[in-house]
Amino acid sequence: MPPKKPAIAFFGVWKDMEVYLAEQMKGLPYANYPSALDPVKINSCIELLVVFVESKVTSAVIQALPQLKYIATMSTGYDHIDLKAAKKRNIAVANVPVYGNVTVAEHTMSLMLGLTRKLFLSAERVKEGIYDFHGLRGVDLAGKTLGVIGTGHIGQSLIKMARGFGLTILAYDLFPNLTAAKKLNFTYTNLNSLLKRSDIITLHIPLTAATYHFINKKNIALIKKGSYLINTARGALVDPTALLKALESGHLAGAGLDVLEDEDLIQNYEEIIQGTCTACELKTSLINKLIIERQNTIVTPHNAFNSTEAIKRIVDTTVLNIKAFIKNKPINLVC
Ligand code: NAI
């Protein structure tokens, strides 16, 4: 009898990724579901589960999969997976630690430039048939101070780019990397000092219990008046109520966001109408809408990772992760 092959299930693989994934997974049996994981319809035979960030691997999902041995996320962040529940069942969890540091940093730069040069307002005006620059004055990046929170892979890639724009860099990280600071010519400082001194602040830390609402009502007040806030890391790093108030009062000049707290509820009217979301999630959804509608915000739909090159790297590393696990030599484990 041939050896039993693992039951591998991919969730959320888009049409344009399928061919490349099939080439890389040649010889390994797998099922491919184009949509995010649906806890109600889940097949209990899955042994190896592969997901993107929109698939929430909760304790209930893990319980519904008695054969589950391994979870691979096709992302760097893994806050959508209940690591505690996985650990309890001895289920290994792997991520893609590096695939898009340059990709996400480039998106961060575009949000920064889009805001400081009023790019979308300018383009919108021309499309409306008005060819007039009055009221569209921006500010230079050169000579300003950029505060980078989190100097890991993405933070460092961004610093390299930002230096090219003539920005002075202040940084904050739980584990300062002094070698990188010397090589890339930036200065570490404490969080409060970074908030007070930066003209633009950008977040590149993971979402954990310790970093939830990392930018909040209290410390947003420390930010220099007229600064910009950029978040391409995770939505819940920023308290949306505090952000909206700071934007409304003019304390912040603008915000560039690729991520929002409870972003999975945006356009998920079914969940809202059925009342399955909490009052708190409902409030966040409303605040998100108000943030999105403002003239001084640019919000993109968690798209910073989404370049052709990065997607290829994600598939490559995910397939390597799966093969290594099957060979009993797991790599890139986060749990
Ligand atoms: P990384 O692990 O290389 O760097 C994270 C840095 O944050 C580390 O230097 C770490 O010491 C620091 N850090 C962790 N907790 C901290 C705390 N409490 N205070 C201060 N510093 C802290 O991660 P990488 O690759 O740079 O990615 C950062 C985040 O970007 C990811 O966790 C992910 O959530 C997000 N991301 C977003 C994407 C998007 O499409 N919008 C795509 C890829 C990543």
Confidence of residue 102 (pLDDT cuts 50, 70, 90): very high
Cα(2) to ligand 1 centroid in Å equals 43
DSSP state of 76: S
Q: Which residue is closest in CA terms to ligand 1's atom 33?
A: 77
- Its pTM stands at 0.93
Atom of ligand 1 nearest to the CA of 234: 34
Cα(233) to ligand 1 centroid in Å equals 7
Active-site hit among 80, 153, 204, 302 = 302
End-to-end CA distance of the chain: 33
**pLDDT (0 to 100) of residue 275:** 74
When pLDDT is averaged across residues 54-83 and rounded to a whole number, the result is 96
Q: Which of 111-120, 180-189, 260-269, 306-315 has the lowest mean pLDDT?
A: 260-269
Q: Which residue is closest in CA terms to ligand 1's atom 8?
A: 152
- Show the ligand 1 pocket: residues with CB < 6 angstroms: 76-77, 100-101, 104, 150-155, 173-175, 204-207, 210-211, 232-234, 258-259, 302, 304-305
DSSP state of 106: H
Q: Which residue is closest in CA terms to ligand 1's atom 44?
A: 76
CB atoms within 10 A of CB 14: 11
Active-site hit among 80, 234, 261, 263 = 234
pLDDT in tens, 228-264: 999 999 999 999 999 999 999 999 999 999 999 999 8
Confidence check: pLDDT of 122 > 60 = yes
CB 37 within 8 A of CB 51: yes
Q: Is 251 one of the catalytic residues? A: no
Atom of ligand 1 nearest to the CA of 258: 41
- For the residues of 250-294, what is the DSSP string, one character each? TSEEEEEES--TTGGGTT-HHHHHHT-S-HHHHHHHHHHHHHHH-
Atom of ligand 1 nearest to the CA of 155: 26
CATH code 3.40.50.720 region(s) in the chain:
8-95+308-326, 101-257+259-299
Q: Is 271 one of the catalytic residues? A: yes
Q: Which residue is closest in CA terms to ligand 1's atom 16?
A: 174
Q: Which residue is closest in CA terms to ligand 1's atom 18?
A: 211
DSSP 3-state of 136: coil
When pLDDT is averaged across residues 212-216 and rounded to a whole number, the result is 98
Atom of ligand 1 nearest to the CA of 204: 28
Confidence check: pLDDT of 44 > 90 = no
**pLDDT (0 to 100) of residue 4:** 54
**pLDDT (0 to 100) of residue 278:** 87
Output the CATH code of domain 8-95+308-326: 3.40.50.720
Percent of the chain with pLDDT over 90: 90
- CATH class entry, domain 101-257+259-299: alpha beta
CB 74 within 8 A of CB 34: no
**pLDDT (0 to 100) of residue 6:** 57
Mean pLDDT, the chain, whole residue set: 95
Q: Which residue is closest in CA terms to ligand 1's atom 42?
A: 305
Percent of the chain with pLDDT over 70: 98
**pLDDT (0 to 100) of residue 269:** 74
Confidence check: pLDDT of 5 > 60 = no
Q: Which of 52, 96, 108, 173 should be mutated for ligand 1, with most atoms under 8 A from CB?
A: 173
pLDDT in tens, 267-324: 777 777 777 788 888 899 999 999 999 999 999 999 999 999 999 999 999 999 999 9
Q: Which of 30-44, 112-126, 134-148, 199-213 has the lowest mean pLDDT?
A: 30-44
Axis-axis angle for helices 101-116, 153-164 (nearest 10): 50
Atom of ligand 1 nearest to the CA of 100: 43
**pLDDT (0 to 100) of residue 42:** 85
When pLDDT is averaged across residues 175-204 and rounded to a whole number, the result is 98
**pLDDT (0 to 100) of residue 2:** 44
Cα(76) to ligand 1 centroid in Å equals 8
